[in-house]
Amino acid sequence: MQKKLDSLLAAAGIALPDQQKHQLIGYVELLHKWNKAYNLTSVRDPMQMLVRHIMDSIVVNEHLQGSRFIDVGTGPGLPGIPLAIVRPDSHFTLLDSLGKRVRFLRQVQHELGLKNIEPVQSRVEEFEPEPPFDGVISRAFASLQDMLSWCHHLPQKGQGRFYALKGVRPDDELNVLPEGITLENVIKLQVPELDGERHLVILTAN
């Protein structure tokens, strides 16, 4: 798995210290092990997890601004855990409403020694951020409208951002953004060995 990760990182032009690589592989191993009982992801092959979960998450890192983030609907910790591993000076709140996922996240936190994540079991609309976040990240929402509606209270007013990981560029959704939301950027992401398009939509709340 180490060779595969090294080749993917090289293809993406990402350089990481050995400790971070070991943590990423450790996370995939835990995900693969727990997936058999907990059904955390439809991806069964650890090599595919490296592409579709690890690389798909960390290519976003260079576009994030700030140090306090919340990953909403994190599931088994995606993209929050890979981002927390490659961004050790930032803090990530990992929010999910399902207890089994949060138990898995706490096990990952314990086994990998991740001090910069906080798994939280809560519905997003009931979660009170204190203080608000620099960035709200999600790849779980069906639409930007849902994300903005349910997460409007999470980012800092005026400078917090929404980061939505999407497949094809969601032009239909971008054409009907609610009042008070500004489109900052749509970035086409390059994920080695991944079929299909990936885009990062960055929005700000005025």
**Average pLDDT of the segment spanning 110-117:** 98
Spell out the residues 6+ positions from residue 24 whose beta carbon is closer than 8 angstroms to its own: 5, 16, 50, 54, 58, 82, 85, 86
Distance of alpha carbon 109 from alpha carbon 117, whole angstroms: 7
Burial-class residue 17 by CB neighbours within 10 Å (0-12, 13-18, 19+): exposed
**Average pLDDT of the segment spanning 46-67:** 97
Where is the binding site for S-adenosyl-L-methionine, in residues? 73, 78, 124-125, 139
pLDDT for res 22: 98
Distance of alpha carbon 89 from alpha carbon 60, whole angstroms: 16
Q: For residue 133, what is the DSSP state?
A: B
Burial-class residue 168 by CB neighbours within 10 Å (0-12, 13-18, 19+): exposed
Where is the binding site, in residues? 73, 78, 124-125, 139
Q: Which residue do the tokens 């790849």 mark?
A: 139
> 140: pLDDT confidence band, cut at 50, 70 and 90?
confident
**Average pLDDT of the segment spanning 9-37:** 97
